[in-house]
Structure 1
Amino acid sequence: MTAADVIVIGGGPAGVAAAITCVQGGLGVMLLTDQPEIDLADAETQPPEPLQSLHPGVQTLLQQLQIEGVTAYASKGIYTGIKTGAHVSPLSTVEEETWTGHHIAPRLFSAYTLLKVKEMGVDVRFVSRANEIICSDEAVTGVVLADGTTLGCKYLIDASGRGRFAGRYLKFDEELLSRPLLSWTGISMDEQGEAPDRELALFEPNPYGWTWTAYSSNGYHTQTKLADKSNSYAFAKELSASPQAAKIKAANMQWRVFKPLACPGLLLTGDAAGILDPAAGQGILSGLMSGIMAGETVLSCLANAQLSNWYLSRYDNWFMEQFNHKKDTLTKRYREMGIDVSL
């Protein structure tokens, strides 16, 4: 049976951050991703894809993880503030300073960061999907892949994103915190003569939810729409008429969190632990932060096994404090705009 100190499931921001933190601490790390390996040159030639927004506060964490070059590589546009109606909220919290965020291509972000992870010594297994979790003496001790391969570990970090593999497999309790919400993300080519302020992201509340628009520097823009599931037909009708309808992706964005988030041999991180809709903001930043905290928790547990339950409980409490603060802030913001997502 192949073994590693730590197995990380997922190659997104949370998984990459967890893997790098563990390998920086001297552990043997294996990262499993169901995505194929993409050469950087090939990634740059792919068609346009929906963009994700990168808050300027992310850069400090990227430097800590030694992957700060990903911003320049994956950026397809910049923004300095968010416009809601006629009001503009700058990213900067300091007067007379302009902070710049980036709209990045997820495919490029993933290709770059996974290449760097491999260079740091992480054993990255592409096109690999965990199918089962192995437990022994009331602790997680490994996984079985879809092809039957058995992998052992001292700790498993689930960063599988909205797939939420470990929590579902182990049938953890899942607390639902909003009514059912659906989001759609797609791209549209900019019309001739269109001259928006491309350095502002647009947030437009409406009777059903909201629309977020992020402009690229390549002649297209990304739109993300969210609505209560019971009113989603309005968005579905609008988007089905779009020439980009075939490229539109839908996602379940009901607010929810697993309990527990950590137990002997296992930590859940990023969206695999808890989900809020994209209006909570700073999704990549949150993923990186929780991945780093999960990695640091594993390092502490292995360095002082007698206190491992305390370290795991501390991680659980930290994640829930961060999650609840964002939930409460977003709920307040929604109420101010007349949007009610409560159960």
Structure 2
Amino acid sequence: MKYDVVVVGGRLAGSTSSLFASKGGLDVLMIEKRQEIGTPVQCAEATTKDTFNILEMDPSKKYICADIDGVDFYAPNGKHFRIRGNNMYGFREGYVLERKIFDKHLAIESARCGTDIMVKTTVKDLIIKNGKVCGVVAKHLDKTFDIKADIVIAADGIESNIARMAGLKTFNQIGDMASCAQYEMVGVKMDPNYLQIHHGQNIAPGGYLWMFPKGNGVANVGLGVLNAKETAYYYLTKFIEKLDATPVELNIGGVPLSGPIEKTFSSGLMVVGDAAGQVDPMNGAGIQNTVTCGRIAGEIAVESIESEDTSSNYLKKYEDLWRLTIGNSLETSLKYQKIFQNLNDDDFNVLAEFLENKNIESISKLSILKFLKDYPHLITLLFNVFILKQ
């Protein structure tokens, strides 16, 4: 078997890379280890409207569960404030998706553009000759075989065995990995067009709890914790006890929050998505970043093969371009994540007291300075995280 490109991983990163490589006329094979693309869900499922512009795809009611106009932030003492529209760093109006349907839809679109797909297939090793990745050793059921390729794209998630096989450093420190748990629940009472974010050391130490509406009283209720004494599941179970709602699905996993890996390419190889650490370190969001980098990987693959140059020097263009596109955003998010990590419950309560029932766009710098004179670190946070249009 021989392909221009073999993509390892059939979720969002893999399908996007495959889609744009196939659109460019390449022979592409996408390999997915699970028997069905889209399951299990490994995401809170919210994304921006920009995601669909990047994919050159119109959003469909088949997988759009809710239109999102903003987010409600809850402090530990129960006070809350609302951010509407795009008036906060890292948030844009968007949607809550049904990822089981959306991920498969994206794979189907890729197949329609010419991508071959193999499910329930694992990659056991890379084929490397003279320091260049030139294929994979795959296993489907009981059969093992070689698949040659000019380029391999590693889209295999946070474990990223493919990147490690190629000699790239992908190790995440335990302290940089958020432990996450999420229930999909029925009977949740909340505004159907606003996300909810809850902070508090007794709710989600080192992280936050989210409630994302999916329509008709269904919502994702989950949380992520960092360096906590108990598991994410423990804190989630404790929180949902006060909800008059019924769980219908549980997912548990981890999210890397340390920022991108040092190097996302080598000769014949590109790494994309969670495997490359292209997740927003502040909020753990990854859909828009993933499709951005997946598209870049697919398009660079086209350029590389058309130029008959799949060397490390050429594929460096992939890293240069994705860092130019989202690199500054990731660095800024990492900085803000460290600020949020140092906030205590009193800080969140003070923020909520100040912002409660206020229009963010109308807040003056003077009012911030007066109210938060004893909290200089919160002043910096407000000026930088919340986009105040003066």
- Same fold judged by TM-score > 0.5? yes
Contact kept, 8 Å, 1:254 with 1:275, in 2: the verdict is: no
List aligned pairs for 1:273-288, cutoff 5 A.
273-276=276-279, 279-280=282-283, 282-288=285-291
Distance 1:112 1:261 in 2: 27
Residue by residue over 1:64-96, the C-alpha shift from the partner in whole angstroms, topping out at 9 and shown as x without a partner, is xxx435x421112221111223332223469xx
Q: 1:54 to 1:246 in 2, by over 3 A?
A: closer
Q: 1:272 to 1:50 in 2, by over 3 A?
A: closer
Letter in 1 for 2:258: W
Q: 1:26 to 1:306 in 2, by over 3 A?
A: closer
1:150 to 136, 146, 150: 146
1:197 aligned partner: 191
2:354 aligned partner: none
2:379 aligned partner: none
Distance 2:178 2:191 in 1: 29
Distance 1:264 1:273 in 2: 16
Identity %: 18
Deviation at 1:19, TM superposition (A): 0.9
Letter in 2 for 1:102: Y
1:260 to 250, 260, 263: 263
Deviation at 1:260, TM superposition (A): 2.5
Report how many residues are paired: 321
1:332 aligned partner: 336
- What runs of 5+ residues in structure 1 fail to find an aligned partner? none
List aligned pairs for 1:31-42, cutoff 5 A.
31-37=30-36
Distance 2:176 2:120 in 1: 34
Contact kept, 8 Å, 1:74 with 1:105, in 2: the verdict is: yes
2:213 counterpart of 1:215:
yes
Distance 1:47 1:311 in 2: 35
Deviation at 1:270, TM superposition (A): 0.9
2:362 aligned partner: none
Distance 2:121 2:168 in 1: 23
- Partner SS for 1:107: helix
Contact kept, 8 Å, 2:268 with 2:315, in 1: the verdict is: no
TM-score, normalised by the number of residues in structure 2: 0.73
1:227 aligned partner: 225
Q: 1:48 to 1:220 in 2, by over 3 A?
A: farther
1:188 to 181, 185, 194: 185
List aligned pairs for 1:28-177, cutoff 5 A.
28-37=27-36, 51-63=44-56, 67-69=57-59, 71-85=60-74, 86-92=80-86, 100-146=93-139, 147-174=143-170, 176=172
Q: CA RMSD in A?
A: 3.1
Contact kept, 8 Å, 1:185 with 1:223, in 2: the verdict is: yes
Distance 2:14 2:278 in 1: 16
Residue by residue over 1:230-265, the C-alpha shift from the partner in whole angstroms, topping out at 9 and shown as x without a partner, is 3334x4333346564972413253525433211111
- Partner SS for 2:71: strand
Letter in 2 for 1:127: K
Larger deviation: 244-253 or 310-319? 244-253
Distance 1:299 1:49 in 2: 29
Letter in 2 for 1:187: E
Distance 2:296 2:100 in 1: 24
Q: 1:277 to 1:269 in 2, by over 3 A?
A: same
2:308 counterpart of 1:311:
no
Q: 1:186 to 1:283 in 2, by over 3 A?
A: same
Deviation at 1:167, TM superposition (A): 1.7
Distance 1:109 1:179 in 2: 29
Distance 2:47 2:266 in 1: 31
- Partner SS for 2:49: coil
Distance 2:184 2:281 in 1: 16
Deviation at 1:336, TM superposition (A): 4.9
- Partner SS for 2:62: helix
Deviation at 1:164, TM superposition (A): 1.2
Q: 1:270 to 1:49 in 2, by over 3 A?
A: closer
Q: 1:107 to 1:278 in 2, by over 3 A?
A: farther
Distance 1:72 1:239 in 2: 30
- What runs of 5+ residues in structure 2 fail to find an aligned partner? 75-79, 241-245, 345-390
1:269 aligned partner: 272
